[in-house]
Amino acid sequence: MAQALINGILLGGLYAIVGVGMSIIFGIVKLTNLAHGDFVILGAYLSLAVSTATGLHPFASFAIVLPVMFGLGFAIQRTMVNRLLTRGDEPPLLVMFGLSIIIQNLLLQFFSADAQHLRSTYDIGSIKIGDTGAIIPLMFLIDCIIGVAIILALNMFMKKTYVGNAIRAVSDDNTAARIMGVNVPLVYGVAMGVAMVTAALAGVLVGMTYTIYPTSGSQYLIISFGVVVIGGMGSIKGTLVAGLIFGLAQLLGSYFLGTSLQLLAGYVIILVMLAVKPRGLFAK
């Protein structure tokens, strides 16, 4: 039981950073990013390519992967999504769905369908907790610490910087923000870039923690949906709390119901939230 609680809390930190990019885009652009899970996996594969080519540690590959992902997200938003936002909800959704298919097929083409893993010295490390028999998996602990740190940093960025205030203003009322001189299309591009950076960070952590495939994006898209539904659309603080709830639900579900029903426990929590508080815990 103690081990399930520990693993659930640590897993929640990873789930929070997996879902925060989707929450940002929904809260600001009002777009459900159906390619978000594939962006996470794309970040993992880019890190794999950089590490293989240069011998860099996956964490060191951030220096290359994060700017590339920011630029990619900015370009996608400015050249494709922004042009379709005035045409209703369906065209942007179809664009993101198309990008999801393209990313999966490109990854299959360049990396094959074989399982991949970002190797590091933290894979098998663990910390024993006294004589309780419980352990803290080192990679899970790193995932949680980085996830919480990124969420807190994003929260500070949104509240303490001009760009963050512009993003919040556009999220609240893009018409009023435009009247006050905010370049709304540019803010949308920056928001997508930031979301892609968080997806890349999540992807590297996922690749170091689990085995990944080119088609793994769907799995992390569902996790992102769960985190956003529980926490509230667009709430960064809610994303962190929701990640912890979702992680605990899965690991406790595995403890009480068996490993085969681990995901089911998380989905039950999502259904309960939709029935009781459909806007999420921290929706505004």
Q: Please, which pLDDT band fits residue 170 given cuts at 50, 70 and 90?
A: very high
211: left (phi over 0), alpha (psi -120 to 50) or beta: beta
Q: By three-state DSSP, how is residue 137 classified?
A: strand
Please give the Cα distance from 198 to 147 (Å, whole number). Answer: 9
- Could you tell me if residue 88 is inside a domain? yes
Mean pLDDT of the chain: 89
The answer to whether residue 232 sits within a structural domain is no
**Domain contains 92:** yes
275 belongs to a structural domain: no
Which residue in 217, 201, 220 sits closest to 47, CA to CA? Answer: 201
Question: Is residue 221 in some structural domain?
Answer: no
Decide if 87 is inside a domain.
yes
Cα gap 281→284, rounded to integer Å: 9
Asked whether residue 236 is assigned to any structural domain, the reply reads no
pTM for the full predicted model: 0.91
**Domain span including residue 45:** 20-214
Pairing verdict, β 135-137 and 126-128: antiparallel
For range 239-261, the mean pLDDT: 82
Q: Is the dihedral of CA 251, 253, 259, 262 positive or negative?
A: negative
Q: What is the pLDDT of residues 199-247, one digit of tens each?
A: 999 999 999 999 999 999 999 999 998 888 888 877 888 898 899 888 8
Question: pLDDT digit string (tens) for 61-75?
Answer: 999 999 999 999 999
225 falls within a domain: no
Mean pLDDT is highest, among 80-94, 183-197, 252-266, for 183-197
Indicate the number of domains in the chain. Answer: 1
